[in-house]
Amino acid sequence: MNRRNFVQNIGTIAAMTHLQPQQLFMPTPTDSPKTIRITRTASNFEREKLIRPFGFKGGFLTELWQAVALLESELGQQGIGLGTQSVLYGDADLFARHSEAGGNAFMYALTEKALQLSKEIPFTTPIDLIDKLLPQVMAEGQKITGKKDLNPNFVYNALISVDNAAWLLYAAENKVKNFDNLIPQDYRQALAYHNNKIAIMYQVPYGMPVEEIKKAAQQGYFVIKIKSGQPGTQSEMLQKDMDRLTQIHTALKDSPTSQTKNGKLIYTIDPNGRYEKKETLMRFLDHAKKIGAFNQILLIEEPLAESNEEEVADTGVIITADESIHDEKDALRRLEQGYKGMVLKGIAKTLSLSMKIARLAHQRQVPCFCADLTVNPILIDWNKNLAARLLPFPGLDMGMMETNGDMNYLNWKKMQTYHPAAGASWTQAKNGVFELNQEYYQRSGGILEPSTHYQQMFSASR
């Protein structure tokens, strides 16, 4: 698409959504990207303990491995990419079958295999690389884990650091200095907005004390993301989820906020696909109505099992698709079932896939937001760069993203020092939002700048 047509389309988007023109960004057209050939790879990882067991998908994590991948091209350019491993998110069944460290070892081994395979694949954009790697890495993942029905999300999660390194290598090879110009031409319309603020989805896992949730509201957080789908049978899960919603709503129902039009907090519910039937979900929503919480529920993330084909358009609330989206075909299937939003996880299912889903959602005028994977501070800003460029979520005058590392990592303050823009204003939550200024967009949140900490992990590997 030429620049004239791109500008015309941007104008159409602005008219349709009543956006201010200055909030839509038109990146400079870039030359055709170079063909990149990888000649050297390396990897490492760090184990980061969590403050308390972190519960979702019916299980609990106690630590998260931070995978680090290096890709070097034949021209000597490098990309050092990061990935946070979450086996419980990637394949809950695999997680339950093995020790926590054992599951992480499987995923790290798959990352190393993907790095080796990348040396055989010339590419122009990281999207091309991931498309070619995915079927091979899926086959290798099945061999490594011994699980023929390995969930694709496990494979995507193993590819995060590789994908991240590929984007940095792509930037170095093509002399790209900011995120706007990093986005390949075919995906720029979907990511052309510049939000001034991003609402932070404050995550509430199973075991979080109510006093901590109340404190978060007092600190200004106004989008409360409640993890449901608790351990147990379907009936036990439902009862626990209803009791938990009652507990949280009783504590927060009178908490005020200046960030919403009606002055009330917003709830989002995330069962992570634990509800086997729509009937169970509807009973949960009936309970929400009974206790007066329903009108504060903005959306429900991926409530039903991936295999569930029931229509959800009549639930009375926005249902968004997350785990079940492994490609554009899956996204279309969910839209046909009445799903009204898409969850983007550039830090869990690769930035490459997220750009594809963002483009599809933009074409269908379906809203998106970015969810977290309890990632490290640098990956938060990779996710933030994506969230910053999406159209404001309906019901909010801003973008929306989840981040929960600060409340879960034992060594969070030390991890923050690894960020090239540590201490910058856009890394700090203020009244429940990230405020994004001109410097943020100029520096792309610091993600394209080197991190001394991660560079030093490979200083002796040449």
* pLDDT for the residue numbered 16: 41
Tallying the residues shown for the chain, one arrives at 462
The secondary structure of 62-108 as a DSSP string is: EEEEEEEEEEEETTS-EEEEEEE--HHHH-HHHHHHS-HHHHHHHHH
* pLDDT for the residue numbered 17: 45
Residue 403 pLDDT > 70: yes
Token pair recorded at residue 315: 């639930």
Residue 318's DSSP bridge partners are 299
β-pairing, 399-402 with 197-204? parallel
Instruction: Give the residue among 117, 17, 118 at the shortest CA–CA distance from 73.
Output: 118
Token pair recorded at residue 452: 């001394």
User: CA angle, 430 as apex, 424 and 435 as ends, to 5°?
Assistant: 60
Domains of the chain: 3-30 (no CATH), 38-173 (3.30.390.10), 185-456 (3.20.20.120)
Instruction: Return the H-helix or E-strand segment holding 294.
Output: none
Q: Contact at 8 Å (CB) between 126 and 79?
A: no
Instruction: Give the residue among 103, 104, 85, 89 at the shortest CA–CA distance from 59.
Output: 89
Please give the distance of CA 193 from its chain centroid, rounded to a whole number: 18
Quote the CA–CA distance of 291 and 20 in Å, as a whole number: 39
The string of pLDDT tens digits covering residues 407-431 is: 999 999 999 999 999 999 999 999 9
The string of pLDDT tens digits covering residues 155-198 is: 999 999 999 999 999 999 999 999 999 999 999 999 999 999 99
The single-letter DSSP state of residue 270 is E
**What is the number of alpha carbons within 13 Å of residue 210 lying toward its C-beta?**
11
**CA 149 vs CA 15, 143, 434: distances in Å:** 46, 11, 39
Confidence of residue 461 (pLDDT cuts 50, 70, 90): low
Residue 384 pLDDT > 60: yes
Contacting residues for 374 by C-beta, under 8 A, at least 6 apart: 50, 54, 61, 64, 84, 86, 404, 405, 408, 409
Confidence of residue 4 (pLDDT cuts 50, 70, 90): very low
* pLDDT for the residue numbered 397: 87
Residue 5 pLDDT > 60: no
